[in-house]
Structure 1
């Protein structure tokens, strides 16, 4: 015999919105006998290679299903039109404990509920390894987050599974999105630069997660970074001048020289990648043949790197007469030794250097450093598998 309690509200005035349907106030009855899960009921174990299926019987229909694992990951699914069957969109994670709450309804509208727990068996197959970046530390407000995968993920559906499992939190909170840069690389940035002195944490809830047949997620090491002051340098190429600001206050204006015809400095927003107090620079490293009139081999001081291809901000005492007057370099931004040292000591990886007013090609978004900020927010989100095409 099944019992249930009818809750009768106390009358506190005229019943303007009264109803004769008492079932809407009924506490859910135990529907365990009327809801069947595709698990071994005795061992409470489930096959991680098959979707979870839930079936209602005996004049019951399913109204809602919530299946969540210990990490808070929800197993989504689809309910049949007649409400008798629910099936998860993907298999559950391997070696993972789940709690499932199934809401039901009888033919007379009486609500029911079944709560069940089960653990999936360990899953076989390959493991998707994800390395998050950058390393823990303090960076400038332009530093994107990165996720490097050891397996190619090409379909939008699989990309959405991976992307959804990569969780980013920041204090203060800001709007942000992942973007697929290629089949194995994602970058994450906010709509605008990170706030100064923010704390950002990225985690991967991928362990055991089904991505495709034969591929499951591996555990991911989390990353936590902070941002420093907002440092932004703007180089006006036509005016041969750099203006450096800290938290929107001008710190210094510096005469510079940038790339000459044939070696124009790229336009757009770049992010500081790293710094070297002393480095040897050669023409052959950027494709200039040895012995060419343009060939060079120089010891360079106070070099701040902006691109993988070799654009730096550095001391260039050999071109001092052109600083603030003419662009004569092979693509780097040259300045006096004193100014180069000051810039080197002022900026950190992740700070922003923006080039305007020149004739160089546009800084690419991916493949030559961190060009992430050269897309509008709409364009950026289009590369997300959750918000756009994911391509």
Structure 2
């Protein structure tokens, strides 16, 4: 016996409920179940106030989409605001209900695309639109990205400084999810919470040479915590220069300068003497100063002691905030390449220091090995971020800590080739 298949599509002739909090009813007013034309869904959304034209949804309430028909199911829901921010959500196993799992933004316009399928497999599509109200509190969370836009070396971390502390892990996840870092070519990276008000972002490995990095915040209008809402943030764009890595071997008293993985120059140096040993590990160039007056009193050495000094120093490349530099040290040329006699800095001849000064930029990597000194601090004295291995770095994230290594599903698309 032949049967003529029924072509009932859930959104065209059955009930679709779209709700923020309690449910309202949304049924198609047209005869074409595949229409993709948005319509004003104000009357189909429930609010904490009176319904009607011009009313807006409460962003504090989750978004729900429900198919009220035993013969049909929802197959997919995409909710996105006018700035391109997606709302994550979960679809029930039977396809009857979808609900948001990330907060809606306040004072935003949303478009919700609902894909459906009836019992015979016929597809349907419905597009809903609504606006959310403004937050009722003036308590705002602001973010300041660093460094300034410009060109940097492959070791430059991204920083995000908050104006208010965020301690709760769930709230940190909301913040971290909204801080977006996109690069061409794409990299695997994540944020690390240095403390309640500062995050650092770095890739698993150094940035690729000549990459373009764009950083933005999607926190504007997003509820972070009780009466705390995100606000607009100035985006950041970095370009990455050549892959410059200088490796100082304190045991052999030499620095090897690499550019794009090619050895360019070997420089005789002197590093910290016993008691003033240079820090081991990876440091990042913080800045360059043609002239610095270096005085021992600024690092706790008493004036008049055997180790006191007051020297004019040229071609000084800073690698820590506490005063460690790579610089010209004409007074120790006889020891360079043979002995470590400095108070912690890396000294070289004036000619070599000028060459180094001219060939590095902020964000380039300076690595010290085989020193008797401690390892460079991870945070607080410059950028020692690279001295944490990737496993430990991931543990500082509110999103990926405790999860398998690799990009999050929602970030997978960002690791595909793209253009900036």
TM-score bracket, normalised by the shorter chain, equals 0.7 to 0.9
Corresponding residue SS for 1:118: strand
Instruction: Single out whichever of 104-113 and 214-223 deviates more from structure 2.
Output: 104-113
In 1, are the aligned partners of 2:9 and 2:118 still within 8 Å (CA)?
A: no
Deviation at 1:185, TM superposition (A): 1.5
Give the paired residue count.
Answer: 371
1:88 paired residue number: 100
Residues 322, 212 of structure 1: alpha-carbon distance in 2 compared, 3 angstrom cutoff: same
What is the aligned partner in structure 1 of residue 149 from structure 2? 136
Q: Aligned-pair distance for 1:119?
A: 0.5
SS of residue paired to 1:45:
coil
Q: Which residue of 2 aligns with 1:186?
A: 199
Q: Are 1:32 and 1:114, in contact at CA under 8 Å, matched by a contact in 2?
A: no
Aligned to 1:116: 128
Residue of structure 1 aligned with 2:62, choices 19, 26, 51 = 51
| Aligned-residue offset at 1:34 | 3.6
Measured at CA, do residues 79 and 354 of structure 1 come closer, stay the same or move farther in structure 2, by a change above 3 Å? same
Structure 1 pair 389–158 and aligned structure 2 pair: CA distance change class (3 A): farther
In structure 2, C-alpha distance between the alignment counterparts of 1:293 and 1:151, rounded to whole Å? 46
Task: Show CA shifts across 1:339-365 (max 9, x none).
Answer: 111111111111111111111101122
2-side partners of 1:286 and 1:270: how far apart? 19
Change (3 A) 1:62 1:249: closer
1:30 match: 12
Matches of 2:294 and 2:217, distance apart in 1: 39
CA distance in 2, matches of 1:21, 1:177: 54
Matched, 1:385 2:398: yes
For residue 158 of structure 2, what is the aligned residue in structure 1? 145
CA distance 1:116–1:274, change in 2 (3 Å): same
Offset, 1:323: 1.0
Correspondence for 1:13: none
Taking the aligned partners of 1:328 and 1:32, their CA distance within structure 2 comes to 84
Q: Give me the TM-score of the superposition, normalised by structure 2.
A: 0.81
Q: CA deviation at 1:129?
A: 0.8
Alignment map for 1:240-389 (pairs within 5 Å)? 240-388=253-401
Structure 2 Cα separation of the partners of residues 29 and 121 of structure 1: 27
Q: For 1:107 and 1:26, locate their aligned partners in 2 and report how far apart those are by CA, in whole Å.
A: 8
Of 62-71 and 90-99, the range deviating more from structure 2: 62-71
Residues 41, 86 of structure 1: CA spacing in aligned structure 2 closer, same or farther, 3 A cutoff? Answer: farther
- Residues 18 and 63 of structure 2 are in contact (CA less than 8 Å); yes or no, is this contact kept in structure 1? no
Q: Equivalents in 2 of 1:255, 1:169: separation in Å? A: 39
Residues 233-269 of structure 1, C-alpha deviation per residue, up to 9 Å, x if partnerless? 1100001111112222222211111111111101011
Q: 1:334 to 1:117 in 2, by over 3 A?
A: same
Q: TM-score, normalised by structure 1?
A: 0.86
Residue in structure 2 matched with residue 65 of structure 1 by the alignment: 77
Q: What's the offset of the Cα at 1:20?
A: 8.0
Shift of residue 221 of structure 1? Answer: 0.9
Mapped partners of 2:86, 2:354: distance in 1: 52
CA distance in 2, matches of 1:137, 1:150: 24
